[in-house]
Structure 1
Amino acid sequence: MTTAFTVDHLPGRTIRHEGQHYLFFSGTAYLGLPQNAAFQQVLIDSIGSYGTSFGSSRNGNLQLAVYQQAEAQLAAFVGAETALTLSSGMMAGQAVVNYLRAQRYEFVYGPSTHPALWHEPDLILPAIPFAEWVEQIPNVVATVGRVAIVLNSLDAVRSQAYSFEWVSRLPADVPITLVVDDSHGLGIIGEGGSGIWRQIPRLPSVQLLVTASLAKAMGLPGGVILGDAETLGAIRRTPFFGGCSPMPPAYLQAYLQADELYRQAREKLRQNVVLAEELLMPTGWFTHAPGYPVFYTEHDELYPYLLEKGIFLYSFAYPTAADRANTRVVISAFHEPEDIERLAQHINEFISSTQG
């Protein structure tokens, strides 16, 4: 079992632990916005207008315009008709699941679907490869009535991209709602980082809802549901949504003002990922979706070796404590080329030592 580090600061390029500095290749701040001084200043200015939180229901008789403005910008960015923000990606997922349960949908889950979209706490997910699951889906949904197909936009743990071409083969005579968690894609995959929405074929018989945490690439403490105005309006009217505290409005105001900072961060991340691909993939030790900032390895022994060299990787059991530890290198926009070069140097040294 991996021993957890406890630190007293926000991780960035490095972390400090017991007097030692480590290069940090973990976490999910892919664009490095929480560590970005310019983004922090935009947020500080926004706090001057909106404080640290808004202790009210979004359905109350006082409305803050910043929510509608930010949701309109998020929807336009992704390509959806509308958006609805909540306090976390988990809350966004559960708002959708609770709504669909009330509509008596039957749920069909994809492999490794994030717990944010589970409709019961001890859900057993398909233990088969994604490609095999995809081949079964048309026949599965043809045997049920109202069905919700629920899955992730990609395998962020093993860094595997998913194709959604299979959606075009779904039966046209079955009412289907496709629910996709894009928490690890929004901000970094798709056109301009707009996520998975535009990559999913649209069919008249298939309603699309995308949920996402904004706390990863987007650097915002909240979540979002993306979809059609009628469905999101219905979700907004549920007691579940009405009882939720909203995400802090200052962060949405910062988001509205940070287009250029997001663009710069995506370009820096792109350059860093290209370098990491050039240096890590020839080793043959990593699984990696091209352009994605995660490099997964089955060689868990890499973690303690690199830790001794002052490099901290992602390596712990997920999503449950019963799962095996998964080890991955996570690249961020806050890394510098020399960080990635040092990482690759030690990985190559370790590989050489195991082959000698």
Structure 2
Amino acid sequence: MIKYIDSFPGKNLQADHTNYLYFGGTAYLGLQTDIEFQDLYIKNIRKYGTNYGASRKSNIQINIFNQVEDYFAKLVGSEACVTLSSGYLAGQFIGHFLNKKEFKLFYSPNTHSALYINNPEENKPKSYITFSSLSIAIRDHLEKQSTITPVVFLDSIDFSGANFPNFKGLQALPLEDVILVVDDSHGIGITGKNGAGVFKTIDSLNPKELIVCCSLGKGYGVQGGAIFGSTDRIKELTATTFFGGASPASPANLASIYQAEVLLNAKRILLHQNIEFFIDNVDAITKFKYMIGHPAFTFSDEKLTNYLEEHYILITSFRYPNEDANLMSRIVISAAHTKEDIRNLCALINKYYIF
């Protein structure tokens, strides 16, 4: 059932005049409601304004863009980085850029809709249900059209556990002949060393080329997107009219990430402590699909969702990305939750599974 609210859904929310604990959403570090981060963000809005609608090709250049992109590239371990106004735009940008006759597009299981593009029938991308079928299709393609480079799109974190953290499915592909495009929206900022995400991990698998894109709104709490890759590839992307014609990410948003490194590191430590606390205190942890180091715990028991709501706890539960999709239900632990919040949740889950 949809709940309508009048403020950001932090760890507490009010709906229908009822107070709930909230274990859902994507505010993994709890930055959106953190006073220290908000104060920094407000300070940067006063410096950079509420929005910056000019092209990055303008004759007036704000330094923070290059500063943050250099910072991100070093953090993630890529040669270069470019930021954009959203993660969805970043995914679409790459997809459209690579939609050329010299590339053949393949979509791995559970790939996010942000990476899909509407292609004409002659180059229509196909989504594969398993990595085994994807591997067969790529090898067959290489045998028949070796001059056309396969491009594989995937989500680093698809909530099934098939990819992060070990990426076993990827390792079955002929990666030395494949360009990988990885959406790390649910990993950047919270997984990897200092929130670096999966770039280094996947790069160690030695693909022909690696391009990683992401939203900044989940791990970093502000609207924006980013693309990581080789210097040459990022230069190609930024030379396009697609990039030049688009407004950039808000400089206030990027500055807030850049200046909040100490706070981000502290929140990340707290998040991982909370994740461990939840795992240690749920007796029936095997009822959930989860990935070590990630705060989302997926399940399919709709009665559990209803039971938690009856006890004033709301979680993420809806059909995504459209009404024809399967019901997506997951508990999300955040850095904003207290140990008491998590203890109450665990007690309810343990009581539910006794019955």
Say yes or no: TM over 0.5: yes
1:142 aligns with 2:142: yes
Opposite residue 12 of structure 1, the aligned amino acid is G
Deviation of 1:38 (Å): 0.4
CA apart distance, 1:142? 2.4
CA distance in 2, matches of 1:127, 1:326: 18
Shift of 1:257: 0.8
For 1:25 and 1:95, locate their aligned partners in 2 and report how far apart those are by CA, in whole Å.
32
Report the AA paired with residue 223 of structure 1: G
Distance 1:165-1:157 versus aligned 2 partners, 3 A rule: closer
Would you say 1:270 and 2:268 are equivalent positions?
Answer: no
- Rounded Cα–Cα distance in structure 2 between residues aligned with 1:160 and 1:168: 10
Q: 1:320, CA displacement in angstroms?
A: 2.3
Deviation at 1:280, TM superposition (A): 2.5
Aligned counterpart for 2:105 among listed residues 104, 107, 132: 107
Which whole-Å CA distance do the structure 2 matches of 1:158 and 1:146 have between them? 27
Correspondent of 2:67 among 63, 66, 69: 69
Identity %: 34
1:74-133, CA deviations, whole angstroms, 9 ceiling, x for partnerless residues?
A: 1111011111011100100111111111464110110011111112289652223x5x35
Query: Does the 8 Å contact 1:212/1:224 carry over to 2?
Result: yes
Q: Which of 29, 32, 50 is equivalent to 1:52?
A: 50
* Structure 2 residue aligned with 1:154: 157
**Equivalent residue for 1:86?**
84
Q: Deviations over 1:136-156 (max 9, x none)?
A: 366245234221111111223
- Secondary structure in structure 1 of the residue aligned to 2:43: helix
Segment drifting more, 141-150 vs 242-251: 141-150
**What is the aligned length?**
348
Matched, 1:247 2:239: no
Q: 1:72 & 1:172 partners in 2: Cα distance?
A: 27
Structure 1: 5+ residue stretches without partners: none
Question: SS of 1:161's equivalent?
Answer: coil
Quick one: structure 1 residues 123 and 341, their matched pair in 2 at CA, closer, same or farther if it must change by over 3 Å? farther
Task: List gaps (5 residues or longer) in structure 2.
Answer: none
Are residues 204 and 299 of structure 1, via their aligned partners in 2, closer, same or farther at CA, if it must alter by over 3 Å?
closer
| Deviation (angstroms), 1:204 | 7.0
Q: AA paired with 1:15? A: L
Q: Does 279-288 or 52-61 show the bigger shift?
A: 279-288
In structure 2, the partner of 1:119 is 117
**Does the aligned pair in 2 maintain the 1:14–1:24 contact within 8 Å?**
yes
Summarize the Cα distance change of 1:140–1:179 in structure 2 as closer, same or farther, 3 Å threshold. Answer: farther
Q: Quick one: which amino acid aligns to residue 24 of structure 2?
A: S
Residue 344 of structure 2 is matched in structure 1 by 342
Hey, what's the Cα distance between the residues in 2 that align with 1:159 and 1:332? 22
1:269/1:234 CA distance change after superposition, 3 Å: same
CA contact (8 A) 1:159 1:289 kept: no
**Partner amino acid for 1:322?**
D
TM alignment of 1:161-240, pairs within 5 A? 161-164=164-167, 171=174, 174=177, 176-202=178-204, 206-240=208-242
Q: Contact 2:128–2:134 (CA<8 Å) still a contact in 1? A: no
Q: Which amino acid aligns with 2:180?
A: L
Shift of 1:189: 1.4
What's the C-alpha RMSD, in Å, of the aligned pairs?
A: 2.2
- The amino acid across from 1:151 in the alignment is L
Report the Cα offset of residue 298 of structure 1. Answer: 1.9
Q: Structure 1, residues 178-212: CA drift from partner, whole Å, max 9, x if none?
A: 10000011111122221000101457761110000
